[in-house]
Structure formats: C-alpha cells, structure tokens
Amino acid sequence: MRRLGVILHRYLGLATALFLVLLGLTGSVLAWREPLSAWLAPDLYEAPARGPVLTPEQLVRRVNEADPRAAVVYFPLDLKEGKGTPVHVGPRESLGYDTLWFDPVSGKELGRTDSEAALPTTRTFVDWMYHLHRQLAIPGRWGGWILGIVSLLWFFDCFIGAYLTFPRGHNVLRRWWPAWKVRNTRIHYDLHRAVGLWPWLLLAMMALSGVYLTLYSELFMPVLRTVATVTREPFDAPPPALDTALVSVSLSQAAAIAINVAHSLNWQAVPDGVYHDVARRFWFVYFEKAEVAWATAGSYGVFVDDRSGAVTYLRTPKGTPADVFVNWLSALHMGNVFGTPYKVVLFLLGLVVAGLSVTGVVIWWRKLQSRHAMHRRKLASTGSTELAPSSLTSLCLVAGVLLASTLLGALDYFL
C-alpha cells in the first residue's frame, strides 16, 4: 500500500507541478489585486474631478453616450470621489473590451480595458493574471476544466502525501515529529515534507475550493447535493427560453429596492454593486459586509426581477450546514475573510504551493539520476550494453494529455 502511495504521489505531483507553480505564483499576486492594479494603472484608478459623485442613473447614461453598443453587465455602487469607477459592459466579443472607466464626479471617460485580452498591458496585467489563474487565459471552458482536473488531483495528492509522512508501528506521534522539522542534511526532501505538513489543512482547502470554483456545476455541486442539502439560488436555475420583454426596472430602481430591503432587515453590509443577468431576467444587488463582520464568511445579496421589480430571493451568510461550508470554502480561497492578515497568509501560501512543486520535481530528478547511475554501474560491471530504463515515459503520457488539452483550448483564440 505504501509503495502504491509513493508511486501515485510521484506521478500526480509531476503531472500537476507546472500548473501548481503557475497557480501558486499568480495566487500570491492576486492576494493584492486591487492595490497592484491601482499602482500599475493610476490613470484609471485616480479620478481628478472633485465634488459630489453622480447618481448611478447618470453614469449609466454616460456609458450609453460613450458607446451605444455597450450594455451594462456589472455596475459598482461604491462610488467615491477621486477613485475611478469601472463599469463592466458587454458583449465583449463585438465591443473588443469589457470595462469602461469613468470619473464618478465629472462622468468623463478615463479609458477602456479588456480583462480577457490574450496579451496583457500595464492597465490589464493583474486582470490578465486573474484570467490566467482562473482558466489559464484560455477562452471558453477549456482552461477551467483543465485546472479543475489539476485541483482534483492535487486534493487527493494532499492526503497521499500526508499518509506517506505518517510512521508505522508504535509511538506514532513521537516518531512523526521529525517529519515536521527541516534539517540541513536533506534540505530539499525535508523542505518538501515539512512545509507540506505545516499548512496542510489550508493546502487541502485550496485544492478543494479550486474544484468548487472550476467544476462547480460539472462535479462539485452534483456530488455535494447527493450528501447534503444545498440551497438553490436564481443563479443555479438554467436560463429559460429567450424572453423578449423589455426591462421595466432600471439599474438604479433595482438598487433602491435592494437597499430598502437591506435596511428593513438591518443587514450589517453596504451596497457594493449591481449585476444584470439578461438570460434569467433579474438584477442582483451585491452587498459588502461591514468591517465588524470581518470574521464571517458568505455575502448578502438581493435578487430583483427586471420586469416587475419583485424581490425573488435574498442571499445571506446563513443557511444549511452545506451552505455555510460552501461560503467558507469560497471566502478562504478568495481572501474575503479575516482582513489583511489573511491576505498575507494567502500570499505566503501561494509561494508554498510553488515551492512544494519545485522541490518535489528536484527530489524526483535526483532520485532518477541516482537510479540511472546505479544502473550504469551495474551494466559496466557485467559488460552489458542494455539501455537504462527511463521514468519519464509515464510522466510524458500524463503531461502530454494535459498539454494537448491546453493547446486545443488555446486554438479557440484563432479558430
């Protein structure tokens, strides 16, 4: 059994190493997504005009004036003097961009950016990193599926790795303690083993939440719903047949309805943004938790029908045990809990993930070289000319499948 565990850990680690290095390093950067974006693109994040901010309805009119083809997809409600306002618009395919930036006081357009562009600029570098982290910067679902498979393999490999550090026999805890230490004699091996054990729970959580974020409807939710009760939201409903009825409730009206509901329920949250789901015919008004609720996972939101103005669903951090579990899984992965200290933890954890993958490959390579050297010495002593066996065959098969999938997905850019 232990021998099987060693083999699985070796080849699962080799097959996912490159992806985990990528995910770890980009995840570390994304822990500071907004400040880095503001530093790289001050012309978008800094608005020069001073005075009272415009109303959402006035800014929506500015969007229509800037580009009549653009339809508002997501509109931020946290408008602040001196801070550029990004309005997400669509359809991206025909516009060639997906975000319009405005000065919230003057209504002047500050710029246009495409967060899913094939190549990044200083304005879109952090958004491009996010696109790379979420789906390998591949359009469509290919990138998400690949990273979902990687996350699933990583999740299982976390348990295999922990099992391999666990000693057999008596006095288990005393004999297990050296596995948590780093010594100079076998620095790469000890770093790989000990650093994998220290944040093990966080690493397993990151792997599972990666499955949740990439294979939500394909795997995660169907499996979870077979063992637990998960509340269904309007987002979970399949889009109905095309409804040509005109939108009767404007963005600002939907925001006002939602804010009144939040006040009546004494939510400890402030309105943060409005998303329009054209296919399912609702406005979703998202609320940011107050600072006093920094240790709670989950979010607040109000779903408003875009034809009647009726409130169809209320999202809160509460719910079934499965709802709470999913809320925490998402919040811990995205850094939406525990404030700045946890963002520091995420930054370091990303470096740990990359480091574990690199040290794992180094350990494998050194063992491979050692086996080949022993084999060559054996052949030299017997005078045989037999070729040394290569352990690269299995690795190439696994990596080849993943690489082929990645390349097929990338073809979407050109076909």
DSSP annotation string for 138-182: -STTHHHHHHHHHHHHHHHHHHHHHHHHSPPSS-HHHHHGGGG--
Mean predicted confidence (pLDDT) in 288-295: 80
pLDDT value at 413 more than 60? no
Q: How far apart, in whole angstroms, are the C-alpha atoms of residue 184 and residue 193?
A: 13
Are 214 and 150 contacting, i.e. CB atoms less than 8 angstroms apart?
no
E strands, 18-77, are 71-76
pLDDT value, residue 218 = 94
- Is the Cα dihedral 190, 195, 196, 197 positive or negative? positive
pTM: 0.87
Domain ranges of the chain: 1-35+132-231+334-415, 42-121, 234-318
Are 415 and 155 contacting, i.e. CB atoms less than 8 angstroms apart?
no
Q: Got the DSSP string for 294-315?
A: TT----EEEEEETTT--EEEEE
pLDDT value at 411 more than 70? no
Q: How far apart, in whole angstroms, are the C-alpha atoms of residue 19 and residue 31?
A: 18
* Percentage of residues in the chain having pLDDT higher than 70: 92
pLDDT in tens, 206-241: 999 999 999 999 999 999 999 999 999 999 988 887
pLDDT in tens, 97-113: 999 999 999 999 999 99
pLDDT value, residue 414 = 42
E strands, 290-384, are 300-305, 311-315
Mean predicted confidence (pLDDT) in 54-74: 93
pLDDT in tens, 323-360: 999 999 999 999 999 989 999 999 999 999 999 999 99
Task: Please name the residue that has the structure tokens 């709802």.
Answer: 323
Structure-block tokens of residue 45: 């994040």
Task: Give the Å distances, CA to CA, from 108 to 42, 59, 102.
Answer: 15, 9, 6
**Which among 50, 15, 353, 84 is positioned nearest to 200, based on CA atoms?**
353
Please classify residue 287 by burial: count the beta carbons closer than 10 Å to its beta carbon, then call 0-12 exposed, 13-18 middle and 19+ buried.
Answer: buried
pLDDT in tens, 121-142: 999 999 999 999 999 998 889 9
CATH number assigned to the domain with residue range 234-318, chosen from the 4 options 3.40.50, 1.10.1220, 3.10.450, 2.60.200: 3.10.450
Structure-block tokens of residue 15: 């097959």
pLDDT value, residue 292 = 72
pLDDT band with cut points at 50, 70 and 90 for residue 382: confident
Ranges 33-47, 64-78, 279-293: which has the least confidence: 279-293
* Percentage of residues in the chain having pLDDT higher than 90: 69
Are 144 and 134 contacting, i.e. CB atoms less than 8 angstroms apart?
yes
pLDDT in tens, 151-182: 999 999 999 999 999 888 778 888 888 888 88
pLDDT value, residue 415 = 47
**Which among 18, 20, 27, 40 is positioned nearest to 120, based on CA atoms?**
40
pLDDT value at 149 more than 50? yes
pLDDT value, residue 400 = 55
